[in-house]
Structure 1
Amino acid sequence: MDAISFGTDGWRATLDTFTAPRVRMVGQAVATYLDEAGHDAPVAVSYDARETSRGFAEELARVLAANGFDVLLPERDRPTPLLAWTIVDRDLAGGLMVTASHNPPEYNGVKFIPDDGAPALPEVTERIEECLADPDPLPEAEWGTVEEIDFVDSHADHALDLVADRAGASRGDAFLDGVTVAYDAMCGSGRDVTDALLERAGADVDRLHCEQRDDFGGTPPEPSAEHLAELAERVRTGDAALGIANDGDADRLAVVTPERGYLDENLFFAAIYDYLLESDAGPAVRTVSTTFLIDRIAEAHNEDVIETPVGFKWVAEAMGEAEALMGGEESGGFSIRGHVREKDGVLLALLAAAAAQETPLDDRVDRLFDEHGAIRQAKISVDCPDDEKARVLDDLEGELPERVAGESVAEVVTKDGFKILLESGAWLLARPSGTEPVLRVYAEAESEGRVDELLDAGRDLVAPLV
């Protein structure tokens, strides 16, 4: 029980810790929580493409059914956002997703999604942790059923309606006709889902790594620049307007373009928010680690920006409160108004292709830089044991300087760690990682050279305190 902890996005661990008995304890905890909350609707359980995930999903299904809940499973691994949509579309009590997302194959994990389809907030996950226990089945006559259903078609229909409307088309139109997209599933659960959705909208799809492999083809399913060199080369030398990759459970995406190659997620966020504002209005929600370019675009359209701590659960909460047009974070997770408040790399792939159909993303980013000034961002990690993070942050509060890299400090924001705003509009952020034993140091400025100077200053500030 002590080994189970729901962090930023559920519980993840290596397979020597992530075992069937512990997974069954999570299933019992969720059943107890849902019963306490008065839920009696069915529960969905989905899973990613890892070799062990189907078995763990079946363990969860059996425990939930033995507690009286009907359970819905997909016929094969399916992305996390399809689970979130299914929960809302079918008015379910909630759902469990077996996934370790972008982690390598020796990991697995599980997360709970409540009945609103948005990430569970801490008060929910803390109560689930308090309910951890060995399975406590009802008499067999009171058990629920386990049924396999389709998770794909309803989500695809909704995504096509939503994005076609943004593109000024109807779902029946091939609004991506003439667009070629290179798609890299990274051997994850986006295969036969994201690529199929793009084709339904009329795109020609050039597929990479769209087969299921237990080792993800030898590369963790993390759509980072270093892992997408083949996709970037395919786009650079071929006919594709853009390349798209999903992480292991397809709740996040990365984009590559013909000119820039890997498109920084901050710039992708800015480009898509700008595209949405051409036909709609509304504020944006971003995390403290996400670019101020979003703020400049919003200001030009007389819109607001809501800043949250890192973690899509906080973005989702703020999106609901503000009726935001778009919300996202620099790690590649985004959602838009009219959809569930869960990051969705499948829907955003379709939206990215629609935006590129209207204006190439490289051209849009160039225009945004011309209008609002160039922005660069990068981050580094400083090793720090989890049990030392709170102490280091306490010590950092007493060491905050009045100047950083030769520039005066204008303000310090403390929503998540310490974000030091400088007079020029550049900033430096130090915060604890929610998933690794490190402190993250981020910097944003007008040039790569200035970003490097700020990161060096950030490392010099934080490292001596560890």
Structure 2
Amino acid sequence: MDTPISFGTDGWRATLDEFTSPRVQIVGQAVADYLREVEDRAGETVAVSYDARETSRGFAEDLCRVLAANGFDVLIPERDTPTPILAWTLVDRDLAGGLMITASHNPPEYNGVKFIPSDGAPALPEVTDEIMARLAEPDPLPESEHGRVSEEDLVAPYADHAFDLVDADFEDLSVVYDAMHGSGRGVTDELLEEAGASVECLRCERDPEFGGSSPEPSEENLQELVAAVEDGDADLGIANDGDADRIAVVTPERGFLDENLFFAALYEYLLEADSGSAIRTVSTTFLIDRIAEKHGEEVHETPVGFKWVAQAIADHDALVGGEESGGFTIRGHIREKDGVLMALLAAAIAAERPFDDRVDDLLAEFGEIHQNKISLDCPDDEKERVLADLEAELPDEVAGHDVADVVTKDGFKILLDDGSWLLVRPSGTEPAMRIYAEGESDDRVRDLLDAGTELVEPLI
């Protein structure tokens, strides 16, 4: 092997010169051995799914062959399917575990694989460490002991569950849906239509090249969706990333809605009918804390990575968990981010009251919140040193305000005496250091990001 197989924040991803069929089969063997030796689930059923990339179905079939040759029955969907639907299927059918072939929002020259445990939540490091310790060439059992591979539709049972969770009656709602050529096409849009919404589709044809860009639902990649909502008469725009585990929302007045503001609107909406704490990552807005305080609820902060959000949801029976990158889930559902279910919830929120009105009132009550982030290139093998050097250089003042506290759950989150904050942490998926900032205005956020850059760049 040229580069070691390594499970990061959300599985192993690599470019197609490294992510090859023989190496995928090695991962399949490791998972088979893990399920047999650690989970004691030999001979049970494993589900394997895949996204819309050109190579994904073939890699999924590689995994099916290895798992079946190790005595597992294997379930594979008829077509590329969103990651959260695979995760929900594991829980619904009490399967031994699942493997998803996806590089999520990465460009088309990437692919990836992630293991999902039987509880449907992202695998924690102790699980992925056990899998990496078992990486080995395929070791098939005698053919008489091989399992069966069967192909099924996974969407219909999931849809029934989603409608049980969301009070879906969107008869007067007009939605523009952007699938970004990913696995949400024909799934998210059809669920919205089934709930009564009028849906206009953008990029809802399968294109393994994603139109020549990344299926990343960022503001710059969703300008066609923004224009369709702002220039038309739609009430709402919704986009999913490549494997539909994340959501982005567009409103008529704001255009691209900051994911932090979506989280705030979602939490407030859920609190109208229920109670419970919220889970957020260190990079996610303090607006969630202000809403929780008003309702007598708590907020629990985690490192970046939905696996930590999922663990905290279990620990605290939280009502909602989310992160500023567009990943959310709710109580009663799987502990995995789900852009399909969130699309239904976004439509439910908009059907009750326009998003812009709700967000206006939240900001009027709790104060303006602005956030942004930047990335600085940093080799993976330099990240620990940069963090160590930064610890020795932490200032007493940033962008004109005193440091009130420093949180070290994930990198360094510098809390300032005006309520703003600056976060520096290593990316878990790219060779980069991330710098995040939150403040009461865009100008304040720019000042914080400039200060963060001046602090970190000389250390790289």
User: TM bucket by the smaller chain?
Assistant: over 0.9
Distance in structure 1 (CA, Å) of the matches to 2:107 and 2:393: 37
Q: Is the partner of 1:97 in helix, strand or coil?
A: strand
Q: Which residue is equivalent to 1:65?
A: 68
Q: CA deviation at 1:314?
A: 0.1
Distance in structure 2 (CA, Å) of the matches to 1:150 and 1:323: 31
Q: Is the partner of 2:393 in helix, strand or coil?
A: coil
Q: Which residue is equivalent to 2:427?
A: 433
Matched, 1:148 2:158: no
State the identity as a percent.
72
Q: CA deviation at 1:154?
A: 1.1
1:351 to 345, 348, 361: 345
Q: CA deviation at 1:424?
A: 1.1
Distance in structure 2 (CA, Å) of the matches to 1:97 and 1:330: 23
Is the CA contact (8 Å cut-off) linking 1:96 and 1:113 kept in structure 2?
yes
Distance in structure 1 (CA, Å) of the matches to 2:266 and 2:189: 20
Q: Is the partner of 1:228 in helix, strand or coil?
A: helix
Q: Which residue is equivalent to 2:161?
A: 158
Is the CA contact (8 Å cut-off) linking 1:3 and 1:17 kept in structure 2?
no
Q: Which residue is equivalent to 1:168?
A: none
Q: CA deviation at 1:300?
A: 0.5
Kindly provide the amino acid, as one letter, of the partner of residue 446 in structure 2.
Answer: D
Query: Normalising by the residue count of structure 2, what TM-score does the alignment of the two structures yield?
Result: 0.99
Q: Is the partner of 2:376 in helix, strand or coil?
A: strand
Distance in structure 1 (CA, Å) of the matches to 2:89 and 2:201: 26
Q: For 1:383-403, what per-residue CA distance to the aligned partner results, in whole angstroms no more than 9, with x for missing partners? A: 111101000100111111111
Q: Which residue is equivalent to 1:7?
A: 8
Matched, 1:331 2:325: yes
Kindly provide the amino acid, as one letter, of the partner of residue 285 in structure 2.
Answer: T
Matched, 1:396 2:397: no
Is the CA contact (8 Å cut-off) linking 1:46 and 1:83 kept in structure 2?
yes
Kindly provide the amino acid, as one letter, of the partner of residue 23 in structure 1.
Answer: V
Q: Give the 5 Å matches for 1:213-362.
A: 213-362=207-356
Gaps of 5+ in 1: 165-173
Q: CA deviation at 1:448?
A: 0.4
Matched, 1:54 2:25: no
- Greater shift, 231-240 or 288-297, is seen at 231-240
Q: CA deviation at 1:218?
A: 2.0
Distance in structure 2 (CA, Å) of the matches to 1:241 and 1:283: 29
Q: Which residue is equivalent to 1:169?
A: none
1:124 to 123, 127, 132: 127
Q: CA deviation at 1:239?
A: 1.8
Distance in structure 2 (CA, Å) of the matches to 1:83 and 1:354: 24
Q: CA deviation at 1:215?
A: 1.0
Distance in structure 2 (CA, Å) of the matches to 1:96 and 1:363: 41
Is the CA contact (8 Å cut-off) linking 2:108 and 2:213 kept in structure 1?
no
Matched, 1:180 2:174: yes
Matched, 1:78 2:81: yes
Distance in structure 1 (CA, Å) of the matches to 2:134 and 2:22: 15
Q: Is the partner of 2:348 in helix, strand or coil?
A: helix
Q: Which residue is equivalent to 1:112?
A: 115
Q: CA deviation at 1:380?
A: 0.9
Distance in structure 2 (CA, Å) of the matches to 1:33 and 1:16: 26
Q: Is the partner of 1:392 in helix, strand or coil?
A: helix
Gaps of 5+ in 2: none
Kindly provide the amino acid, as one letter, of the partner of residue 360 in structure 1.
Answer: P
Is the CA contact (8 Å cut-off) linking 1:246 and 1:252 kept in structure 2?
yes
Q: CA deviation at 1:255?
A: 0.5
Distance in structure 1 (CA, Å) of the matches to 2:350 and 2:274: 18
Q: Is the partner of 1:110 in helix, strand or coil?
A: strand
Is the CA contact (8 Å cut-off) linking 1:33 and 1:127 kept in structure 2?
yes
Q: Is the partner of 1:398 in helix, strand or coil?
A: helix
Q: For 1:280-336, what per-residue CA distance to the aligned partner results, in whole angstroms no more than 9, with x for missing partners? A: 100000000000000000000000000000000000000011010000000000000
Is the CA contact (8 Å cut-off) linking 2:30 and 2:135 kept in structure 1?
yes
Q: Is the partner of 1:429 in helix, strand or coil?
A: strand
Is the CA contact (8 Å cut-off) linking 1:51 and 1:214 kept in structure 2?
yes
Distance in structure 2 (CA, Å) of the matches to 1:325 and 1:200: 26
Q: CA deviation at 1:21?
A: 0.2
Distance in structure 2 (CA, Å) of the matches to 1:227 and 1:404: 32
Kindly provide the amino acid, as one letter, of the partner of residue 162 in structure 1.
Answer: L
Q: CA deviation at 1:85?
A: 0.5
Matched, 1:44 2:44: no
Is the CA contact (8 Å cut-off) linking 1:410 and 1:423 kept in structure 2?
yes
Distance in structure 1 (CA, Å) of the matches to 2:157 and 2:4: 37
Matched, 1:373 2:394: no
Q: Is the partner of 1:388 in helix, strand or coil?
A: helix
2:204 to 210, 218, 228: 210
> Which consecutive segments of 4 or more residues in structure 1 shift more than 6 A?
none
Cα RMSD (Å): 0.7
Q: CA deviation at 1:150?
A: 1.2
Q: For 1:437-459, what per-residue CA distance to the aligned partner results, in whole angstroms no more than 9, with x for missing partners? A: 11101110000001111111111
Q: Which residue is equivalent to 1:35?
A: 36
Q: Is the partner of 1:382 in helix, strand or coil?
A: strand
Q: For 1:141-192, what per-residue CA distance to the aligned partner results, in whole angstroms no more than 9, with x for missing partners? A: 000000001110111111111011xxxxxxxxx6111101100000000000
Q: CA deviation at 1:220?
A: 1.2
Distance in structure 2 (CA, Å) of the matches to 1:224 and 1:96: 26
Distance in structure 2 (CA, Å) of the matches to 1:43 and 1:367: 47
Kindly provide the amino acid, as one letter, of the partner of residue 453 in structure 1.
Answer: D
Q: Is the partner of 2:332 in helix, strand or coil?
A: coil
Q: Is the partner of 1:267 in helix, strand or coil?
A: helix
Q: CA deviation at 1:219?
A: 2.2
Q: Is the partner of 1:269 in helix, strand or coil?
A: helix
